[in-house]
Amino acid sequence: MKHYLSVNDIDSLNDWVNEARELKKEPKKLKSLGEGKTIGLLFFNNSLRTRLSTQKAAMNLGLDVIVMNFGSEGWALEYADGTVMDQGTSEHIKEAAQVISQYCDIVAIRAFAGLTDKKEDEAEIVLNGFKKYASVPVVNMESSVGHPLQALADAITLAEQNTKKRPKVVLSWAPHPKALPHAVANSFVQMMQLQDADFVITHPEGYELNPEVTKDSVIEHDQKKACEDADFIYVKNWSSYNTYGQVLNQDKNWTMTKEKLGNAKFMHCLPVRRNMVVADEVLDSDQSLVIEQANNRTYSAQVVLKKILENN
Annotated binding site for carbamoyl phosphate: 47-50, 75, 110, 147-150, 269-270, 297
Least CB distance to a copy of itself at residue 56 (A): 5
247 makes contact with a copy of itself (CB under 8 A): no
48 makes contact with a copy of itself (CB under 8 A): yes
Q: Which stretch binds a copy of itself (CB under 8 A): 121-129, 222-230, 236-244, 278-286?
A: 278-286
Give the largest CA-CA distance in the chain: 60
87 makes contact with a copy of itself (CB under 8 A): yes
CB closer to a copy of itself, 30 vs 192: 30
218 makes contact with a copy of itself (CB under 8 A): no
DSSP 241: T
| Binding residues among 287-306 for a copy of itself as defined by CB under 8 A | 290-291, 294-295, 297-298
Phi, psi at 301, each rounded to 5°: -65, -40
Site mask, a copy of itself, residues 100-139, x = CB under 8 A? Answer: x-xxx-----------------------------------
Are 218 and 200 spatial neighbours (Cβ–Cβ below 8 Å)? yes
271 makes contact with a copy of itself (CB under 8 A): yes
Are 126 and 143 spatial neighbours (Cβ–Cβ below 8 Å)? yes
Selected from 25, 82, 212, 311, the binder of a copy of itself by CB under 8 A is: 82
Residue 273: HSE in the Cβ half-sphere, 13 Å Cα cutoff: 14
Report CA-CA distances (Å) from 70 to 19, 108, 126, 271: 32, 12, 12, 22
In order, the DSSP letters of 69-100 are: EHHHHS-PEE-STT----SS--EEHHHHHHHH
By CB atoms closer than 10 A (0-12, 13-18, 19+), residue 159 is middle
In order, the DSSP letters of 169-205 are: EEEEE---SS---SHHHHHHHHHHTTS-SEEEEE--T
269 makes contact with a copy of itself (CB under 8 A): no
Binding site for a copy of itself (CB under 8 A): 28, 36, 38, 40, 43, 46-49, 51-53, 55-56, 59, 64, 66, 68-69, 72-75, 78, 81-87, 90-92, 94-96, 98-100, 102-104, 177, 250, 270-276, 280, 283-284, 290-291, 294-295, 297-298
